[in-house]
Amino acid sequence: MNAFKAIAATTLLSAALTVVPHVFADGETCTNQYGSTVDCPPNHIVINKKVRHATNVNLFVENITSNDTAYTPNSEVEYDIAVTNTSNVNFATVTIIDVFPNQLTFVSGPGRYEESTNKLTFELSDLKAGQTVHTRVLTKAKDVSVFPNDLTCDVVNTATATGPGGQSDQDTAQLCVTTKAVTLPVAGYEDYAYMLPFITLAIIGFGILTKGAIKP
Mean pLDDT for the stretch of residues 182-189:
44
Better pLDDT: 29 or 135: 135
Nearest in space to 66 (alpha carbons), one of 162, 143, 148, 149: 149
The DSSP bridge partners found for residue 63 are 174
Q: Give the least confident one: 118-127, 173-182, 196-205.
A: 196-205
Cβ contact 92:126 at 8 Å: yes
- The torsion angles phi and psi of 186, rounded to 5 degrees, stand at -75, 130
What residues are paired with 159 via a beta bridge?
Answer: 98, 171
Q: Helix, strand or coil for residue 114?
A: strand
User: Would you put residue 74 in left (φ > 0), alpha (ψ -120 to 50) or beta?
Assistant: left
Average pLDDT, rounded, for the chain: 78
d(C-alpha 86, C-alpha 83), whole Å = 9
Asked if residue 29 has pLDDT above 80, the reply is: no
Once rounded to an integer, what is the mean pLDDT over residues 39-46? 69
| 208 or 192, higher pLDDT | 208
Task: Summarize pLDDT for 107-164 with one digit per residue, the tens.
Answer: 999 999 999 999 999 999 999 999 999 999 999 999 999 998 999 999 999 999 999 8
- Return the pLDDT at 89: 86
Residue 87 has pLDDT above 90, yes or no: no
CATH 2.60.40.740 domain residues, the chain: 45-178
pLDDT given at position 15:
40
pTM above 0.85, yes or no: no
Mean pLDDT, residues 72-76: 96
The answer, yes or no, to whether residue 44 has pLDDT greater than 80, is yes
Strands 30-31 and 37-38 come out as antiparallel
CA distance 69 to 74: 16
At 204 the pLDDT is 61
Residue 208: per-residue pLDDT: 57
Residue 43's pLDDT is what?
63
CATH architecture of 45-178: Sandwich (2.60)
Give the confidence band of 55 by pLDDT, cuts at 50, 70, 90.
very high
- Cα separation values, 101 from 142, 153, 180, Å: 11, 11, 21
